Amino acid sequence: MSETILKHASKTAITLIAFAVVFTALLAFVFQATKLPIEKSEAAARLSLFRQIVPHTMHDNDLLKDTVTIAPSDLLGNKQSSIANRARINNQPAAVILEAIAHDGYSGDIKLLIAIKADGSLAGVRVLAHKETPGLGDYIDIAKDKWIKLFDDESLLKTPDNQWKVKKDGGAFDYMAGATITPRAIVKAVHKALQYFEANKQALFA
């Protein structure tokens, strides 16, 4: 009786192992089959966003391939390494696209894409991700409002450090009534990103 049970258990174990091997192989195949299309789709979406702040007239290189890894930085709000994309014309620095995170948004982190020209002025800012209140703080999204474009051509030279605040706080930047926390966080994050650029310009384009 025990021998019969042992044989049955062995067959069951072999069947389970075979099933696990086949299932794992199938998952690996599906992963590999979908990985490339997903990566291509994400790259295309990212490039489309890049072109909003660094149009093709500003560069002749591949923005997705010309990159540099950035160590975690308090000025960028990044707790992990991030990737900066570089724009060049005739192999000369034109702009760099940094990722920054504003941790003091009304509803949590606000992830930003900040393009800074080689001369230190802003080419543009876009919001990558946020959880701000619809109809209130979400006007930071270019799809909702053009407010974010007020950063175009701003720089540390144009606006003194003590003016990088919303007007309610005595600064230079407009905001919409009833939603002060969100723009305050973005102004602060953009200011810090410009400071990061000035301190690391050579390394960013090396």
- pLDDT confidence tier of residue 106, bands split at 50, 70 and 90: confident
Domain count, the chain: 2
Question: Are 109 and 18 in the same domain?
Answer: no
Domain encompassing residue 188: 56-205
- With a cut of 60, say whether residue 31 has pLDDT above it: no
Question: Are 42 and 65 in the same domain?
Answer: no
199 Cβ contact list (under 8 Å, min separation 6): 75
- Write the pLDDT tens digit of every residue in 110-126: 899 999 999 999 999 99
What's this model's pTM, rounded to 2 decimal places?
0.77
Work out the average pLDDT over 53-82: 95
Question: Are 26 and 62 in the same domain?
Answer: no
**Over pLDDT 70: what percentage of the chain?**
77
Average pLDDT of the chain to the nearest whole number: 85
Question: Are 23 and 103 in the same domain?
Answer: no
- With a cut of 70, say whether residue 147 has pLDDT above it: yes
- Write the pLDDT tens digit of every residue in 151-160: 999 999 999 9
